[in-house]
Chain A
Amino acid sequence: NAGVTQTPKFRILKIGQSMTLQCTQDMNHNYMYWYRQDPGMGLKLIYYSVGAGITDKGEVPNGYNVSRSTTEDFPLRLELAAPSQTSVYFCASSYGVINEKLFFGSGTQLSVL
Protein backbone atom coordinates (compact mmCIF):
# COMPACT_ATOMS: atom_id res chain seq x y z
CA ASN A 1 0.00 0.00 0.00
CA ALA A 2 1.75 3.15 -1.24
CA GLY A 3 -0.50 5.79 0.37
CA VAL A 4 0.83 9.29 -0.27
CA THR A 5 4.09 9.44 -2.17
CA GLN A 6 6.22 12.57 -2.36
CA THR A 7 9.24 13.10 -4.53
CA PRO A 8 11.99 14.13 -4.19
CA LYS A 9 12.90 13.62 -0.54
CA PHE A 10 15.68 16.19 -0.63
CA ARG A 11 16.54 19.02 -2.98
CA ILE A 12 18.87 21.98 -3.05
CA LEU A 13 17.97 24.87 -5.32
CA LYS A 14 19.75 28.06 -6.25
CA ILE A 15 17.91 31.34 -5.91
CA GLY A 16 15.70 31.92 -8.93
CA GLN A 17 15.51 28.29 -10.01
CA SER A 18 12.20 26.52 -10.49
CA MET A 19 11.08 23.08 -9.50
CA THR A 20 8.02 20.93 -8.99
CA LEU A 21 7.37 18.84 -5.91
CA GLN A 22 5.40 15.77 -6.86
CA CYS A 23 2.64 14.25 -4.76
CA THR A 24 0.63 11.18 -5.67
CA GLN A 25 -1.93 9.23 -3.70
CA ASP A 26 -3.47 5.90 -4.61
CA MET A 27 -6.37 5.94 -2.17
CA ASN A 28 -8.86 7.76 -4.42
CA HIS A 29 -8.94 10.65 -1.99
CA ASN A 30 -10.75 13.82 -2.99
CA TYR A 31 -8.94 16.24 -0.70
CA MET A 32 -5.26 16.97 -1.04
CA TYR A 33 -3.10 19.50 0.77
CA TRP A 34 0.35 21.03 0.68
CA TYR A 35 1.91 22.20 3.94
CA ARG A 36 5.26 23.68 4.74
CA GLN A 37 7.04 23.29 8.04
CA ASP A 38 9.74 25.78 8.86
CA PRO A 39 12.44 24.77 11.35
CA GLY A 40 10.98 24.54 14.85
CA MET A 41 7.58 25.64 13.65
CA GLY A 42 4.20 24.15 12.95
CA LEU A 43 2.67 23.36 9.61
CA LYS A 44 1.25 26.09 7.44
CA LEU A 45 -1.19 25.39 4.64
CA ILE A 46 0.02 26.48 1.21
CA TYR A 47 -2.71 25.21 -1.11
CA TYR A 48 -5.41 22.62 -1.02
CA SER A 49 -7.73 20.88 -3.44
CA VAL A 50 -11.17 19.40 -2.92
CA GLY A 51 -11.15 17.44 -6.15
CA ALA A 52 -9.77 17.27 -9.66
CA GLY A 53 -9.81 20.68 -11.28
CA ILE A 54 -10.43 22.56 -8.04
CA THR A 55 -7.73 24.27 -6.01
CA ASP A 56 -7.69 27.04 -3.44
CA LYS A 57 -5.17 29.08 -1.49
CA GLY A 58 -4.19 28.35 2.06
CA GLU A 59 -2.38 30.57 4.55
CA VAL A 60 0.91 31.04 2.67
CA PRO A 61 0.34 30.64 -1.10
CA ASN A 62 2.69 33.35 -2.38
CA GLY A 63 5.51 31.99 -4.51
CA TYR A 64 3.75 28.70 -5.22
CA ASN A 65 1.35 27.28 -7.75
CA VAL A 66 -0.60 24.04 -7.88
CA SER A 67 -2.70 22.08 -10.30
CA ARG A 68 -5.01 19.12 -9.91
CA SER A 69 -5.63 17.55 -13.28
CA THR A 70 -6.29 14.11 -11.83
CA THR A 71 -7.56 12.77 -8.52
CA GLU A 72 -4.21 11.11 -7.86
CA ASP A 73 -1.75 13.93 -8.46
CA PHE A 74 -1.28 17.30 -6.79
CA PRO A 75 2.06 18.84 -7.79
CA LEU A 76 3.42 21.98 -6.14
CA ARG A 77 5.37 24.37 -8.34
CA LEU A 78 7.99 26.87 -7.17
CA GLU A 79 8.65 29.30 -10.01
CA LEU A 80 11.43 31.54 -8.66
CA ALA A 81 12.93 29.93 -5.59
CA ALA A 82 13.83 32.22 -2.71
CA PRO A 83 15.70 31.50 0.54
CA SER A 84 12.44 32.08 2.42
CA GLN A 85 11.12 28.92 0.78
CA THR A 86 13.67 26.76 2.56
CA SER A 87 11.44 24.39 4.47
CA VAL A 88 10.11 20.86 4.74
CA TYR A 89 7.10 20.32 2.55
CA PHE A 90 4.39 17.81 3.35
CA CYS A 91 1.68 16.62 1.05
CA ALA A 92 -1.45 15.10 2.60
CA SER A 93 -4.74 13.66 1.48
CA SER A 94 -8.09 12.63 2.87
CA TYR A 95 -11.18 11.04 1.39
CA GLY A 96 -13.05 14.25 1.60
CA VAL A 97 -15.69 14.45 4.24
CA ILE A 98 -14.92 16.75 7.11
CA ASN A 99 -14.12 14.10 9.63
CA GLU A 100 -11.62 12.05 7.72
CA LYS A 101 -8.11 11.68 9.01
CA LEU A 102 -5.22 12.92 6.95
CA PHE A 103 -2.62 10.69 5.40
CA PHE A 104 0.74 12.39 5.07
CA GLY A 105 3.61 11.85 2.71
CA SER A 106 7.11 11.49 4.11
CA GLY A 107 8.08 15.06 3.33
CA THR A 108 10.46 16.91 1.01
CA GLN A 109 13.32 18.84 2.54
CA LEU A 110 14.08 21.82 0.32
CA SER A 111 16.97 24.23 0.71
CA VAL A 112 17.27 27.37 -1.38
CA LEU A 113 20.77 28.82 -1.36
Chain B
Amino acid sequence: NAGVIQTPRHKVTGKGQEATLWCEPISGHSAVFWYRQTIVQGLEFLTYFRNQAPIDDSGMPKERFSAQMPNQSHSTLKIQSTQPQDSAVYLCASSLGGNYAEQFFGPGTRLTVL
Protein backbone atom coordinates (compact mmCIF):
# COMPACT_ATOMS: atom_id res chain seq x y z
CA ASN B 1 0.00 0.00 0.00
CA ALA B 2 1.71 3.14 -1.22
CA GLY B 3 -0.52 5.50 0.70
CA VAL B 4 -1.88 8.72 -0.74
CA ILE B 5 0.40 10.00 -3.49
CA GLN B 6 0.75 13.68 -4.25
CA THR B 7 2.68 15.16 -7.14
CA PRO B 8 4.68 17.23 -7.45
CA ARG B 9 6.14 17.47 -3.97
CA HIS B 10 7.35 20.99 -4.67
CA LYS B 11 6.17 23.51 -7.23
CA VAL B 12 7.37 27.02 -7.86
CA THR B 13 5.33 29.33 -10.05
CA GLY B 14 5.50 32.95 -11.03
CA LYS B 15 2.72 35.31 -10.08
CA GLY B 16 -0.13 34.96 -12.56
CA GLN B 17 0.77 31.47 -13.72
CA GLU B 18 -1.40 28.39 -13.34
CA ALA B 19 -0.64 25.53 -10.97
CA THR B 20 -2.12 22.03 -11.08
CA LEU B 21 -1.67 19.70 -8.14
CA TRP B 22 -2.33 15.97 -8.36
CA CYS B 23 -3.55 13.48 -5.82
CA GLU B 24 -3.83 9.71 -6.12
CA PRO B 25 -5.96 8.30 -3.28
CA ILE B 26 -5.45 4.93 -1.68
CA SER B 27 -6.92 2.22 -3.87
CA GLY B 28 -10.47 1.41 -2.80
CA HIS B 29 -11.03 4.70 -1.01
CA SER B 30 -14.12 6.50 -2.20
CA ALA B 31 -13.63 9.88 -0.50
CA VAL B 32 -10.97 12.48 -1.31
CA PHE B 33 -10.31 15.66 0.65
CA TRP B 34 -8.13 18.68 -0.06
CA TYR B 35 -6.68 20.89 2.69
CA ARG B 36 -4.29 23.82 2.74
CA GLN B 37 -1.66 24.42 5.42
CA THR B 38 -0.01 27.76 6.11
CA ILE B 39 1.79 29.20 9.10
CA VAL B 40 -0.75 31.99 9.46
CA GLN B 41 -4.05 30.14 8.82
CA GLY B 42 -3.04 26.64 9.92
CA LEU B 43 -4.88 23.69 8.37
CA GLU B 44 -7.93 24.67 6.33
CA PHE B 45 -10.43 22.42 4.60
CA LEU B 46 -10.91 23.21 0.92
CA THR B 47 -13.09 20.60 -0.76
CA TYR B 48 -14.32 17.01 -0.65
CA PHE B 49 -15.40 14.34 -3.15
CA ARG B 50 -17.23 11.11 -2.58
CA ASN B 51 -17.44 8.54 -5.37
CA GLN B 52 -15.96 11.22 -7.64
CA ALA B 53 -18.86 13.61 -7.02
CA PRO B 54 -18.20 16.98 -5.37
CA ILE B 55 -19.90 17.01 -1.97
CA ASP B 56 -18.62 20.05 -0.15
CA ASP B 57 -16.50 22.89 -1.51
CA SER B 58 -17.30 25.35 1.25
CA GLY B 59 -13.62 26.00 1.93
CA MET B 60 -12.60 26.73 -1.62
CA PRO B 61 -11.81 30.33 -2.53
CA LYS B 62 -14.51 31.34 -5.00
CA GLU B 63 -12.11 32.71 -7.52
CA ARG B 64 -9.19 31.01 -9.25
CA PHE B 65 -9.48 27.67 -7.40
CA SER B 66 -11.11 24.57 -8.83
CA ALA B 67 -10.96 20.86 -8.10
CA GLN B 68 -11.94 17.83 -10.08
CA MET B 69 -12.04 14.09 -9.72
CA PRO B 70 -12.36 12.66 -13.23
CA ASN B 71 -11.89 9.07 -12.10
CA GLN B 72 -11.53 7.11 -8.89
CA SER B 73 -7.74 7.05 -9.12
CA HIS B 74 -6.93 10.72 -9.09
CA SER B 75 -8.05 14.21 -8.19
CA THR B 76 -6.63 17.57 -9.24
CA LEU B 77 -6.58 20.97 -7.62
CA LYS B 78 -6.05 23.80 -10.08
CA ILE B 79 -5.16 27.35 -9.16
CA GLN B 80 -5.39 29.91 -11.93
CA SER B 81 -3.44 33.16 -11.91
CA THR B 82 -1.52 32.20 -8.78
CA GLN B 83 -0.80 34.90 -6.22
CA PRO B 84 1.87 35.00 -3.49
CA GLN B 85 -0.82 34.42 -0.85
CA ASP B 86 -1.56 31.04 -2.47
CA SER B 87 1.82 29.82 -1.25
CA ALA B 88 1.12 26.93 1.09
CA VAL B 89 1.36 23.19 1.53
CA TYR B 90 -1.63 21.54 -0.11
CA LEU B 91 -2.60 18.27 1.51
CA CYS B 92 -4.74 15.55 0.01
CA ALA B 93 -6.42 12.87 2.11
CA SER B 94 -8.55 9.86 1.30
CA SER B 95 -10.88 7.63 3.26
CA LEU B 96 -13.24 4.72 2.81
CA GLY B 97 -16.04 7.23 2.90
CA GLY B 98 -18.26 6.10 5.75
CA ASN B 99 -19.04 8.04 8.91
CA TYR B 100 -16.40 6.14 10.85
CA ALA B 101 -13.73 6.33 8.19
CA GLU B 102 -10.46 7.93 9.14
CA GLN B 103 -8.64 10.12 6.69
CA PHE B 104 -5.18 9.17 5.45
CA PHE B 105 -3.04 12.07 4.39
CA GLY B 106 -0.48 12.38 1.64
CA PRO B 107 2.87 14.13 2.12
CA GLY B 108 1.60 17.35 0.57
CA THR B 109 2.64 19.61 -2.28
CA ARG B 110 4.54 22.72 -1.28
CA LEU B 111 3.50 25.54 -3.64
CA THR B 112 5.65 28.65 -3.75
CA VAL B 113 4.42 31.62 -5.77
CA LEU B 114 7.13 34.16 -6.49
Q: Do A and B associate with each other?
A: no
- Listed in ascending order, the chain A residues whose CB lies under 8 Å from chain B are none
Q: Which residues does B use to contact A, with CB under 8 Å?
A: none
